[in-house]
Structure 1
Amino acid sequence: MIVPMKKLHVIVQKKDIVSALESLRELGSVHVEHQEELSGYQLEERREEVQMLKDALDILGRFECKLQVPQKDTPDWTDVVNDIQKLYAEIEHDQEAVAQREIQIRQWEPWGDFDPGDIGALAARGIYVQLCEVPAGKEALVPEGVILEKVYFASGTYKCLAISRGKIDLPFDAITPPPSGLGQMKTMQVEDQAKIRGAEEKIAGLRCFLDSFQEIMVERENVLKFEEVEKGMRAHEELALLKGYCPGDACGAIAAKAKQEQWGVLFEDPSEEDSVPTLLRNPRWVEMIKPVFGIINVLPGYREVDISPVFLIFFSVFFGILIGDAAYGSVFLILTLVFHHKLKHKVKDAAPFMLMYVLSASAIIWGALTGTFLGTVLLGAKLKPVVAWLTVSKNVQLLCFTIGAAHLILAHLWRCVRRWPGSGAWAELGWVWILWVSYGLVKSMIILGQADMAVILNALKMMVPGAALVIYDIARGPKGQIPVGIVLLLFSIISAFTDIVSYVRLFAVGLAGTAVADAFNQMALSIGFNNVVSGVFTSLILVVGHAFNIVLCGFGVLVHGLRLNVLEFSGHLGLEWAGFKYEPFKKIKQS
């Protein structure tokens, strides 16, 4: 659920700003809304400090040390950070030089090693040497007085030296000599690579300050946050105002602290114009869906609805159908168990692991229902489906359409409850009827193959009562908008039909995953396990093929499983995901 918030204003004397902010930070429940622009030299300096430390930690994280480095405090963190950034800049510069030079080495290796300075020395003595590329069969075009020495041949072209007593224009592509010879380039390459290794070793040696930097960064972030809140307060004469939002259940603690510290405090309900942050609180079993919202970076607006329970239930079903294989679900389950065991002391929030347990179970259950384990070919008749009905394509399509209709109808029923008792509630019931009729039309046209005009016209007639309820709601609006509303209604009815049809993607993607799995299975079985070599190749094909397919199925979940919740369902519910996160002013602690 979305936690009800209160807007609060805290008034303190200017001389008490620091102590008041320290007390509010200790409470850790006020989402501050800045009243003044967060600018100024001091804030910029703090931001630069935090960014420097983040960059340094990022660089240190890239250079692992084979041996455990004893941690120690840094005497002057700014000097060490500057050294790290300087060393890393040198590494990047040298790596770019090495990469560019490697291209030149490959380009000039066919010419062999020579000193480009010799070409200038010979020219000073009246002997001109030009490098050129001559297409095969064009050697006769060499001007008189030019000796053509072939050095290398590749791709129908000779790399040549054109030698003459005077400077003669050649009818071929001339090549500019390199700045240094091949041998010298290779020597420079070795030297730069040694410099890179040396700089990397120095950075790895500075990992002894890793813990110290993390502590300092947390401290600097706290200072920055504190000064931003202080800067964002509105001051007038001897008073200062802080504005923000807090959960309704936190008002008591804030009021008690205000009384103790002798602040002025006002709590009020947010107005329609206020930008209120969103705080979600759900039962423990629902909380596991939070990581998904974090990954796709969406949050319902404060005045919208929290669909977390519905999202979790339907996303789990979608995951099972899209992955569609008990073996793949088992792989996800085993990997989750392994990572959960290894990271249980490092990762405080177990929600991602709990979610993966549920999703893995969903894939295993669907695979068992359909008899799919590493595809359908590998085990063949040995694995019987629990529900044979699900092995028929038309039946699975019907199930997908049924899930889609139920999903979208639920959205409009939910919207009906929210709009009750207004006329908009009746419009939502009208949409429920339209969706139900659309579901029947989809079933007739796609499952039963009855795509004639009579079926379509009959469905349109059946939609009339639902459309009438929607038009009734439109008619209660501005008179000038009624024709536009009716036209838009026609498009919306078509859209509702196609939205139900779009749930067939669950069947299509799941079927594609099974088809890819079976293709690799057949490829592997065609080689067989007749001997050691064939056994190795067969095993390799099975492992690589199914690993590749698991990745593809994962992408299918990200694209289609999320879309049906975030776009189709949310669109029918009127959910715009317009929220932003509730971030209370509190002390950051080192993780």
Structure 2
Amino acid sequence: MSIVPLVKVSLIGVLDDKDTVLEATQRFGALHLIPLASAQKELEAVPPGGGREAVEALRWLVACPSQRRPVTDPDRFDLESVVVQTRKNRSAMKDCEDLVAKLDRRIQDVEPWGEFSFSDLAEIGDNRLWFYVVPLAKLSNIDTSGKVLEIVHKDRYRAYIVLLAPEEPPVGAMPVPRVHVGAESLSTLKHSYEEAVIDLEELQLERQALTKWRYVLARNLAAARDHSARRRAALETADTDRVFVLQAWARHDRIATVRDLAGQLGVAALFDEVSENDAPPTLLENDPSVAAGEDLVEFYQTPGYRDWDPSPVVYVSFIVFFGMIMTDAGYGLLLLLLLFLFRKRFAGSALGRRMFSMSVWLSVSTAAFGVATGSYFGVEPPEGSFLAHLNVLPLKNVDAMMKITLTIGVLHVVLANLMRACHEKTLSGRLQPVGWCLVALGGLATFLGQGTLLDKAGPAAVIVGLLVVGIFGSDRKVNSLKAGVLRVFDGLTSLARFINMFSDVLSYMRLFALGLAAASLGETINTLSGQLNDAVPGVGILIAILVLAVGHAINIGLGLIAGCVHGLRLNVIEFFNWGLKDEGTPFRPFRKEETRL
């Protein structure tokens, strides 16, 4: 685990060659540009590459379920024509889908009334048809005297009644308000629906035909965005007379490569080491097995360049915390099966492969903690069985689980402080974290060692730790009374974090609480399904299976949310609070955009 050392690169060349140098630098793709000119107004005038309409067209084509073989010859491609056709297809399909849904709903509403058409008023004595949907329980409330009405359809709950009268019956004459059926007959609606479905199929085929342009469209968009990025970069160089200066950050181990690039372009290259006044970006580099930890870290906060890389620690602890929250062997094995079935969907990118690897470990952790707590889809293994002997974590023992989770919290916070102490440069910066380690370990010893020697050693460690924090709470030199007073004030201010230490350690109790909640909900689902099976003979087994499937699916969904949110929160809030000092900016290389479909 490491933060890659960087070096500041200055490329100096003739102004006429700037565009060539920028294009080559973008193709090189390993430099993080440093703005040297304030050109905010000009930058706002530079439009983002690609155009919104073209981007929407590409998304529409890529999302098509059926794809044609892509055309790769750009000479056959007309960008404006393809974008216009795609936008028209998208708009027409949405309108057609809305029409199909509307007609389908109208047919469902009209179908109970059967096939009918409105006759000329003169043919039926200036009478009109009035339609009512009456619940069966209210049929007896209808006064049929003097009324011409007919029940044209009846189902289990409602009766569909047509009343013949020259005027709408007054309020109260019928037990329910009348309904509006519309003037179109059922056969007309079905004919319109059939035509709309055919039109929709034609539009779907047109969309499928347009997907052959997705590759060259993506290439055009990538080229447009690359050009836009170069124009923005050109505004941020320092230009004087006929000379321009392009400044950037580069990896220290690529100095020779950058020097070769400068030689090929015919520009001068100057290299400067990072100074105290510089604020370089942070480039994290880890072993591929824990590379997903970088994504977890940068999701919330990028560590400062002079700080340390917490990615491996966050990666491992997130996997452990996630497993403790899900804590069911059945759920873990089910997630592993789903990952195996959908493994090909993760293989398209480096990020997808990293996420797949981490997801596998999250599922393994869930299964492992499920075995340790004796939970298999909420079912405990029989006493005396092999699986019962593997039940080593008493999840329902509140006292034991409190001790376990608080120990995990203390060790996590202590690790954060030790890592910070190792990377600090000043004496107070190194000793303050050590003092907090003594406070945390002393408090844990006091809690766990009641009635033992630890009961006395714990408070002593807490006192020593607080003294260390208070004494080394500042790097001020006491060369005057004012400086002495300020140093004492700094020490007292540092001691105020004792409340933070207490609350942060207690935050790890959520591991036990969420794990117990998930296990209890699983047991409740099983109990409820068993009661339904007993209460309804025969069909009860089907209801019980449905309750099991839906209930455990909900429990898995809640567990996934809780595991991700709270498992990550304990790392990026509690752990970062004690382990990281500064927040940095991520290293973003100036490079060409990849065309990925």
In the superposition, the TM-score normalised over structure 1's length comes to 0.78
The AA in structure 1 aligned to 2:85 is D
Match of 1:314 among 305, 317, 322: 317
Aligned to 1:10: 11
Match of 1:426 among 417, 431, 451: 431
Cα 1:280–1:487, aligned 2, differ >3 Å: closer, same or farther?
closer
Match of 2:271 among 267, 273, 292: 267
What is the Cα deviation at residue 508 of structure 1? 1.5
Report the Cα distance in structure 1 between the residues aligned to 2:115 and 2:148, rounded to whole angstroms: 19
Report the Cα distance in structure 2 between the residues aligned to 1:300 and 1:351, rounded to whole angstroms: 20
The AA in structure 2 aligned to 1:367 is G
1:268-417 → structure 2 map (5 Å cutoff): 268-270=272-274, 274-293=278-297, 296=299, 298-340=301-343, 342=344, 346-348=348-350, 350-377=353-380, 382-386=385-389, 388-391=391-394, 393=397, 394-417=399-422
Aligned to 2:480: none
Greater CA drift, 268-277 or 3-12: 268-277
Match of 1:76 among 71, 75, 78: 78
- Aligned to 2:8, what secondary structure does the other structure show? strand
- Aligned to 1:278, what secondary structure does the other structure show? coil
Aligned to 2:509: 504
Report the Cα distance in structure 2 between the residues aligned to 1:389 and 1:427, rounded to whole angstroms: 37
Cα 1:481–1:198, aligned 2, differ >3 Å: closer, same or farther?
farther
Report the Cα distance in structure 2 between the residues aligned to 1:481 and 1:22, rounded to whole angstroms: 54
The AA in structure 2 aligned to 1:240 is F
Aligned to 1:568: 574
Report the Cα distance in structure 2 between the residues aligned to 1:14 and 1:381, rounded to whole angstroms: 82
What is the Cα deviation at residue 274 of structure 1? 4.8
Report the Cα distance in structure 1 between the residues aligned to 2:287 and 2:516, rounded to whole angstroms: 35
Greater CA drift, 125-134 or 174-183: 125-134
What is the Cα deviation at residue 561 of structure 1? 0.8
The AA in structure 2 aligned to 1:78 is E
What is the Cα deviation at residue 59 of structure 1? 0.6
Residue 210 of structure 2 corresponds to residue 206 of structure 1: yes
Q: Is the 8 A contact 1:318 1:557 kept in 2?
A: yes
Residue 38 of structure 2 corresponds to residue 33 of structure 1: no
What is the Cα deviation at residue 10 of structure 1? 1.5
Q: Is the 8 A contact 2:327 2:519 kept in 1?
A: yes
- Aligned to 1:391, what secondary structure does the other structure show? coil
Report the Cα distance in structure 1 between the residues aligned to 2:207 and 2:283, rounded to whole angstroms: 41
What is the Cα deviation at residue 190 of structure 1? 5.3
What is the Cα deviation at residue 501 of structure 1? 1.6
- Aligned to 2:3, what secondary structure does the other structure show? coil
The AA in structure 2 aligned to 1:493 is F
Match of 1:586 among 583, 587, 591: 591
Report the Cα distance in structure 1 between the residues aligned to 2:27 and 2:405, rounded to whole angstroms: 51
- Aligned to 1:44, what secondary structure does the other structure show? coil
What is the Cα deviation at residue 78 of structure 1? 1.9
Report the Cα distance in structure 1 between the residues aligned to 2:523 and 2:474, rounded to whole angstroms: 56
What is the Cα deviation at residue 403 of structure 1? 0.7
Greater CA drift, 53-62 or 501-510: 53-62
Report the Cα distance in structure 2 between the residues aligned to 1:202 and 1:389, rounded to whole angstroms: 61
Aligned to 2:563: 557
Cα 1:472–1:179, aligned 2, differ >3 Å: closer, same or farther?
farther
Aligned to 2:250: 246
Cα 1:297–1:82, aligned 2, differ >3 Å: closer, same or farther?
farther
Greater CA drift, 481-490 or 504-513: 481-490
Cα 1:179–1:543, aligned 2, differ >3 Å: closer, same or farther?
closer
- Aligned to 1:586, what secondary structure does the other structure show? coil
Report the Cα distance in structure 2 between the residues aligned to 1:471 and 1:290, rounded to whole angstroms: 34
Cα 1:292–1:403, aligned 2, differ >3 Å: closer, same or farther?
same
Aligned to 1:144: none
The AA in structure 2 aligned to 1:410 is L
String of CA shifts for 1:371-428, please: whole Å, max 9, x gaps: 3333333656534345554226232321111110000111122222233542233222
Report the Cα distance in structure 2 between the residues aligned to 1:228 and 1:29, rounded to whole angstroms: 17
Aligned to 1:54: 55
- Aligned to 1:289, what secondary structure does the other structure show? helix
The AA in structure 2 aligned to 1:466 is G
What is the Cα deviation at residue 84 of structure 1? 0.4
Report the Cα distance in structure 2 between the residues aligned to 1:87 and 1:177, rounded to whole angstroms: 34
What is the Cα deviation at residue 89 of structure 1? 1.6
String of CA shifts for 1:475-516, please: whole Å, max 9, x gaps: 6567569659736744x3223212212211111111222222
Cα 1:541–1:14, aligned 2, differ >3 Å: closer, same or farther?
same
Q: Give aligned-pair identity as a percent.
A: 24
- Aligned to 1:390, what secondary structure does the other structure show? coil
Report the Cα distance in structure 1 between the residues aligned to 2:184 and 2:551, rounded to whole angstroms: 47
- Aligned to 1:305, what secondary structure does the other structure show? coil
Q: Is the 8 A contact 1:520 1:542 kept in 2?
A: yes
Report the Cα distance in structure 2 between the residues aligned to 1:275 and 1:483, rounded to whole angstroms: 30
Report the Cα distance in structure 1 between the residues aligned to 2:434 and 2:79, rounded to whole angstroms: 65
Cα 1:569–1:432, aligned 2, differ >3 Å: closer, same or farther?
same
Aligned to 2:66: 65
- Aligned to 1:336, what secondary structure does the other structure show? helix
What is the Cα deviation at residue 191 of structure 1? 4.7
Report the Cα distance in structure 1 between the residues aligned to 2:336 and 2:171, rounded to whole angstroms: 70
String of CA shifts for 1:174-227, please: whole Å, max 9, x gaps: 999899657677766555454433322211221222333233333333333333
String of CA shifts for 1:46-72, please: whole Å, max 9, x gaps: 431xx4443222111332228x65746
What is the Cα deviation at residue 519 of structure 1? 2.5
The AA in structure 2 aligned to 1:81 is V
- Aligned to 1:47, what secondary structure does the other structure show? coil
What is the Cα deviation at residue 19 of structure 1? 2.7
- Aligned to 2:269, what secondary structure does the other structure show? strand
String of CA shifts for 1:125-157, please: whole Å, max 9, x gaps: 9999999999x99x99xxxxxx9999999999x
Q: Is the 8 A contact 1:130 1:174 kept in 2?
A: no
Cα 1:380–1:223, aligned 2, differ >3 Å: closer, same or farther?
farther
Report the Cα distance in structure 1 between the residues aligned to 2:276 and 2:150, rounded to whole angstroms: 82
String of CA shifts for 1:88-141, please: whole Å, max 9, x gaps: 12223444456567777888889999999x99x99xx9999999999x99x99x
The AA in structure 2 aligned to 1:306 is D
Q: Is the 8 A contact 1:369 1:385 kept in 2?
A: no
Report the Cα distance in structure 2 between the residues aligned to 1:133 and 1:370, rounded to whole angstroms: 57
Greater CA drift, 243-252 or 535-544: 535-544
